[in-house]
Amino acid sequence: MISINTNSSANFAIDSINNSSREVNSSIVRISTGKRVNNGLGVTDTASASVAKWGEAQTRSLDRGAQNALDGAAMFTLFASKGNAIVSHLARMKELAVEMSNPGWSAIQYGSANAEYRALSANITSIAGQGYNNGAVPFGAGGARRTHVGRGGDIVQTGLVWSIANTGTALGSQALDGPANLNSSALWSAEITKLEAAIPAAAGEAGAYAAQARSLETIAQGMRAESAAVSSGTGTVQNTDFAAETARLAAAQIRAQASTAMLSQANTKQQYVLALLQN
């Protein structure tokens, strides 16, 4: 039927052009961004958009938590090195005490040994007074060290009780530099007893710092592995399949061109009416 009031063929062609244009636009967005889900552009379902956004947020928080754990590990590694330095100082002090506990030294020799002993003791106090991050986290204050990795609660290391004042320490609370002048073998022998208690206590605390650093490094590795898994899953939902999308784009472009050609043909049907009237 030829009609001048209604052109159904043209309407069908126009509808096809509009649908093809939407498909072309969607494919262009997906290909140009590399993402199948793009803030409402080219989205095939809202569930995909929701999962993709959750995955992105989860990945970012896991990465930040892993970095927090590594930052904490760096702090504890530094504290462990300080603890090991103190242990090294204590070992030299014990060596010196054993040497000077043997009778027969002169007053000058006692004085020289006493000066070195006190210098080592003072350096222990200096090391314990230092901190991490320009002193923001003190080493010698003792107490709990907290590291938050985004798991709902802090990772807490307690029992690290460095607290040294004139080297009267938490390592048995002995005053390691003893009397003002260690000028006899008996006084040096008394220092050996104190050091035999101090050295294993100091080594134990240094080891606790090192163990906490290793623990945090393991936590960071686990969180980064989890982040990679979440990111991979998010990518499966969100990322564009370029092979499928380019094929879809080509098909939509062909349909758009064909529909445009058919619209032209549909509009020429009205010319048939004029031809009949002329005849």
Q: Where are the alpha helices (DSSP H) in 130-241?
A: 185-238
Q: Tell me: the pLDDT tens digits for 241-273?
A: 677 778 877 888 887 787 777 777 767 766 666
Mean pLDDT value of segment 7-18: 75
Which residues neighbour 172 within 8 Å (Cβ) at sequence distance 6 or greater?
194, 197, 198, 201
Q: Does 68 score more than 70 pLDDT?
A: yes
Per-residue confidence (pLDDT) for residue 174, from 0 to 100:
42
User: In the chain, what percentage of residues exceed pLDDT 90?
Assistant: 5
Q: Where are the alpha helices (DSSP H) in the chain?
A: 8-33, 46-100, 107-129, 185-238, 242-268, 270-278
Per-residue confidence (pLDDT) for residue 168, from 0 to 100:
38
CA distances from 141 to 160, 170, 215, 248 (A): 9, 11, 22, 66
- Beta-carbon neighbour count of residue 28 at 10 Å? 15
Q: Does 118 score more than 60 pLDDT?
A: yes
Per-residue confidence (pLDDT) for residue 160, from 0 to 100:
45
pLDDT band of residue 141 (cuts 50, 70, 90) is low
Average pLDDT over all residues of the chain? 75
pLDDT band of residue 162 (cuts 50, 70, 90) is very low
Q: Give, in words, the CATH class of 52-236.
A: mainly alpha
Per-residue confidence (pLDDT) for residue 255, from 0 to 100:
79
Per-residue confidence (pLDDT) for residue 179, from 0 to 100:
57
Mean pLDDT value of segment 71-94: 87
Mean pLDDT value of segment 18-46: 68
Instruction: Read off the pTM.
Output: 0.63
Q: Identify which of 266, 245, 258 has the alpha carbon closest to the alpha carbon of residue 42.
A: 245
Task: Return the SS3 of 165.
Answer: strand
User: In the chain, what percentage of residues exceed pLDDT 70?
Assistant: 70
Per-residue confidence (pLDDT) for residue 10, from 0 to 100:
72
Mean pLDDT value of segment 215-240: 83
Mean pLDDT value of segment 143-172: 48
Per-residue confidence (pLDDT) for residue 4, from 0 to 100:
60
Q: Where are the domains of the chain?
A: 8-34+243-278, 52-236
pLDDT band of residue 11 (cuts 50, 70, 90) is confident
